[in-house]
Amino acid sequence: MLTVALPKGALLEDSIRLLQSIGLDFSAFLEPSNRLLQIADPTNTAKALLVRNHDVPVYVEYGQAQLGIVGYDVLREKVPQVAHLADLGYGKCRMSVAVKKSSPYRSALELPLYGRVASKFVHCAREYFNSLDLPVEIVPLYGSVELGPITGMSEAIVDLVATGTTLRENGLIETDVLFESTARLIAHPLSYRLDTDGMHEWIEKIRAATEARV
C-alpha cells in the first residue's frame, strides 16, 4: 500500500485538497476531534502519516513513506537523500534576512564582521553568509527568533516570511531574500525507481492536478 507523509500546519489543508482531487481522501486529519497520526484512504488504496513538516523528508528518506509533501525550506535546511519530483505551487513564502527597523543595516553585506544572526534555519543561514564571504556567528533559536534583534542578542535573523505581518508588528524589516519556498513533492529514491505500489501513476496524477490548478 502506498504511504504518503503529510505535514502538519500550514501546508496540510492544501495538501489534502490536492490528494482529494486525484482520488485519495485523507480529510479525516482535518477533523477537530482527530487524534490519529496514521489513516487509510476509504478505498484502502493508500495510507497517510501526519508528521511535523521537518520530519516529512526523514520518513521518506528512511522508507517509511514512499511519497511526501514538504516545504522547500525544509529540503534546503536538511538536505535529505530524497527524489525531488514537483513544485506544487502552494504554501508560498520566502527565506529572508531581517533586522530592527531602527538598525543602521539595510543589507546583509552591511552587517558587522562576526556579528550575530539568530535562526532556526542554521544550515541555510550559514550557507548564505558563506556565499557572501561574510563571517558571522549563527545563533540557533527554535522559538520566536524575532526576539534576537529586539533584545539585542543578535543584529539580524534569518527566518521564513509569508506576509511579513509578524516582522512589522515586532518592529523588524526584511533586507535580503535568500530564496522562495513552496510545497514540494518528494519520493523515496529506490521506491521511485522500482515504481513501488504504482507510484508513477499517482505522481503523474499529482503533476496533472497541480498544472490544472495554475
State yes or no: pLDDT of 169 exceeds 80.
yes
Go through the domains of the chain in sequence order and give each one's CATH number.
Answer: 2-91+182-213 (3.40.190.10), 93-181 (3.40.190.10)
Neighbours of 52 (CB within 10 A): 11
CA–CA separation, 158 and 76 (whole Å)? 13
CA–CA separation, 161 and 145 (whole Å)? 12
Residue 179: what pLDDT? 98
Rounded to 5, what percent of the chain is helix, strand, coil? 35, 30, 35
Percent of the chain with pLDDT over 70: 100
Percent of the chain with pLDDT over 90: 96
Question: What is the mean pLDDT of the segment spanning 61-74?
Answer: 97
Quickly state the pLDDT bin for 213 (edges 50, 70, 90): confident
Question: What is the mean pLDDT of the segment spanning 189-194?
Answer: 96
pLDDT in tens, 89-144: 999 999 999 999 999 999 999 999 999 999 999 999 999 999 999 999 999 999 89
State yes or no: pLDDT of 74 exceeds 80.
yes
Residue 214: what pLDDT? 67
Residue 77: what pLDDT? 96
Q: Which residue has cell 508528521?
A: 51
State yes or no: pLDDT of 27 exceeds 90.
yes
The per-residue pLDDT of the chain, averaged, comes to 96
Quickly state the pLDDT bin for 148 (edges 50, 70, 90): very high
Residue 161: what pLDDT? 96
**Beta strand pairing status for 116-119 and 137-140?**
parallel
CA–CA separation, 130 and 99 (whole Å)? 19
Question: What is the mean pLDDT of the segment spanning 172-192?
Answer: 97
- For the four alpha carbons of 92, 97, 101 and 104, in that order, the dihedral sign comes to negative
